[in-house]
Chain A
Amino acid sequence: MDTTVANTGTEGKTWGGGNKPLKASYGKMMMWFFIVSDALTFSGFLAAYGFSRFKFIDSWPIADEVFTHIPFYHEPAPMIYVAFMTFVLIMSSVTMVLAVDAGHHMNKAKVTLYMFLTIIGGLIFVGSQAWEWGTFIKGDYGAVQTKGGNILQLVNTEGERVAISSIAIDAHGERVQHERKNGLWFVDEGTLPSYTVDEVYNGLVAHPDVLVRTQIINEEGEKTVLSREESLMQIKNNGKLVVEGANLKVNEYGTSLFADFFFFITGFHGFHVFSGVVINIIIFFNVILGTYERRNSYEMVEKVGLYWHFVDLVWVFVFTFFYLV
């Protein structure tokens, strides 16, 4: 008497179970689905960036004027550094896929080497990004923020940028930073800017060849430069705060949303790269210890490789939408 059902009568049939229609292991498939969801997160961020940019389409900062720095080289050169970063990341993607390929051939020495190179590439990328953040936060020319939150930058008659620090003239009577020890003990404020608007105004009066450039983009796709009278008037009437560099509140390059999105999107991507490096290091040690050799399969390398390529894939889009378009 058969009380347990041992056979369902469906063995070997499509719905009999045990089929692997996707011919991929569970882990790999879940990595793919994770990547889909992560891709949606990133596209949410980039689409939000697009939303804000479309909202302020006539006054958005021009990326080529913001990201112009290269280490040890002092002329403005847009695109070069970020192109280098892109290449580093693509290159580390290549070494990753070579590691996966070596894993298929069960070649432990080669997997070790390529994993190592991938980690180095990732570290160079994260380091470059940190440097880029540093220069962005530090700023280079400074600007004056108006009461309405717009940014006024200074240019000379040739249209070249002029640094606030090079023209400002001491106006006396600036205020002292309010700290707990010299004012109300329960309130304090952040560091004051190195210059006041009055100092900038004095400097502007003393330098007849300096003009004010607003955020508004004109027909030629360049920022509008005001006439001399308008320049003086704008700084005098509307200038409120001298801004140097960028943070989450103010941004000398233009609308503060630009800096917010920059920090948020490249930061989130950089965090992905960082966690990718950490996971790569873990896998790297597992490879050295021979874990996958004993397991007789290097599939873990393949899975972490998928993640690593995804990080590269996201960068390709960040590169386009932040630096190119």
Chain B
Amino acid sequence: MAHEHKLAIFRGTVKFKSNTQKIWGVLIFLTIVTAIEVVLGIYKPEFFMHTWMTPFEGGFLATLGNILFSPIIYMKPLNLIFIVLTIIKAYYITWDFMHMRDETKALRRMVVWTGVFLICYLVFILLQEGGYIESVYTNGFIKRDF
């Protein structure tokens, strides 16, 4: 039961012969991802440093569009890439090092969905409010920079 491992990663495109081999394979993958992050972090390509879209102006549909495309409207592409790569790394650490891949679907969902839901909630609230306070500092009549 616990000793059987699913040995395929990337939705079955890469299959390993043994669990040990899979571990080294995942290590190589994680190292490559980290290397990409470090290289991007050092060189900061100009192409990724400015947002690709500007916010839509207008009524309700514009707001909807802004929400829909918020990752590329309000975030530098470089930061978006970092966050996506981090989540990919987190996935492979959890799935292959912590053997989440071999657990039952119910346990997997209990752990992952609870965490993901609560963290999204927390991050949304705090970042939203942080941005709001920044806007008060910038547009309000509070002098704080002297």
Task: Name A residues whose Cβ lies closer than 8 Å to a Cβ of B.
Answer: 21-24, 29, 32-33, 35-36, 39-40, 43-44, 47-48, 50-58, 64, 78-80, 83, 86-87, 90-91, 93-94, 96-98, 100-101, 104, 146-148, 150, 216, 221, 238, 302, 305-306, 309-310, 312-313, 316-317, 319-320, 323-325
CB distance from B6 to the nearest CB of A (A): 14
Tell me what chain B mostly uses at the interface: helix, strand, loop, or mixed: helix
Q: Are A56 and B134 in contact (CB under 8 A)?
A: yes
Per the bound structure, the CA–CA distance linking A52 and B127 in Å amounts to 9
Q: Are B130 and A50 in contact (CB under 8 A)?
A: yes
Per the bound structure, the CA–CA distance linking A201 and B35 in Å amounts to 44
Looking at the complex, which one of A40, A47, A96 makes contact with B126 (CB distance below 8 Å)? Answer: A47
CB distance from B123 to the nearest CB of A (A): 5
Q: Are A24 and B34 in contact (CB under 8 A)?
A: no
Q: Per-position contact with A for B82-111: 1 when CB-CB < 8 Å, else 0?
A: 110110011001101111000110110011
Per the bound structure, the CA–CA distance linking A52 and B1 in Å amounts to 47
CB distance from B129 to the nearest CB of A (A): 7
Q: Are A54 and B130 in contact (CB under 8 A)?
A: yes
Q: Can you offer 14 A-B residue contacts whose CB atoms are under 8 A? A: A21-B104, A22-B106, A23-B107, A32-B111, A39-B119, A40-B115, A43-B122, A87-B34, A90-B34, A94-B24, A96-B97, A104-B2, A147-B146, A306-B98
Known: A22-B106, A323-B41. A51 touches B127 (CB 8 A): yes
7 interchain residue pairs of minimum CB distance: A54-B130, A51-B130, A51-B126, A148-B146, A47-B126, A320-B86, A83-B38
Chain A residues with Cβ below 8 Å from B138 are: 58
Q: Are A57 and B134 in contact (CB under 8 A)?
A: yes
Q: Which residue of A lies closest to B118 (CB)?
A: A40
Looking at the complex, which one of B3, B23, B86, B114 makes contact with A94 (CB distance below 8 Å)? Answer: B23
Q: Are B126 and A48 in contact (CB under 8 A)?
A: yes
- A24, A97, A147, A302 — most chain B CB neighbours (10 Å): A97
Looking at the complex, which one of B35, B86, B103 makes contact with A317 (CB distance below 8 Å)? Answer: B86
Q: Are A101 and B134 in contact (CB under 8 A)?
A: no
Chain A residues with Cβ below 8 Å from B70 are: none
CB distance from A63 to the nearest CB of B (A): 9
CB distance from B23 to the nearest CB of A (A): 5
